[in-house]
Structure 1
Amino acid sequence: MVNIENPVTNQVKQCKVGWSWTVFFFGFFPMLFRQDWKWLLITLVVDLLGLFTFGIVSFIANVILAVLYNKFYLTDLVNAGWRPVDEASKNLLLAKGIALPVE
């Protein structure tokens, strides 16, 4: 888990890094609850395409997304201006390949 903060609003979020069990089991609902509209739309489009393949494409895409979604979500937050709260969170983000802007 990493702790990140929005320096403008002082809102702090605790986000998981790595495999997303919630995306694996619940599909697009975590994106809906996090108000992550970009990935919600992408997931819904892929799931709709899965209808034409009897769900095979949708299942494969959801497994891949479960592996990558938390990294995508954290990268989007960092690009939107969120910053790690502590040194441990900063080191974990860097270890997972999430580039932080130079301060």
Structure 2
Amino acid sequence: MHVQLVNAAGGLKEVKIGFSWTTFFFGFFPALFRGDLKWAAIMFVAATAVGVFTLGFGAWLPGIIFSFIYNKMYVKELLEKGYRPANVQDQASLQKAGIVAAFEAVPRT
């Protein structure tokens, strides 16, 4: 499921809620391409650390774990940076996914 987020300057981002297939298959690269350098670095370090301790065999394990949580973390950080749901349906989707707790005022479209 995708939702649209807008910021005060009118910038629009369409983000996915739920499992991140791109993170599952490509590891830290989706975060890197989104400009989310903090989480890209965390994912890279986690994969490297697990890989070192398992002689490379376990480097895929952090990718699987982050696949379940990365999209939610990314949306939460966008909301903290000032993005808001573009409409009431997007707000309801975020609330249903457990990303936002209560209805807030959203701009009408």
TM-score (norm 1): 0.90
Partner in structure 2 of residue 28 of structure 1: 28
Tell me the amino acid that sits aligned with residue 73 of structure 2: F
What is the Cα-based RMSD across aligned positions, in Å? 1.6
Q: Flag as ranges the 4+ runs of structure 1 deviating above 3 A.
A: 100-103
Alignment of 1:63 onto 2:60: no
Structure 1, unaligned runs of 5 or more: none
* RCO higher in structure (CA 8 A, sep ≥6): 1
Q: Identity of aligned pairs, percent?
A: 36
CA distance in 2, matches of 1:57, 1:64: 12
Larger helix fraction of residues: 1
Matches within 5 A, 1:1-103: 1-7=2-8, 9-52=9-52, 53-99=54-100, 102=104
CA distance in 2, matches of 1:26, 1:91: 30
* Higher radius of gyration, 1 or 2: 2
Following TM superposition, by how much is the alpha carbon of 1:80 offset from its aligned partner in structure 2, in angstroms?
Answer: 0.9
How many residues matched? 102
Following TM superposition, by how much is the alpha carbon of 1:40 offset from its aligned partner in structure 2, in angstroms?
Answer: 0.7
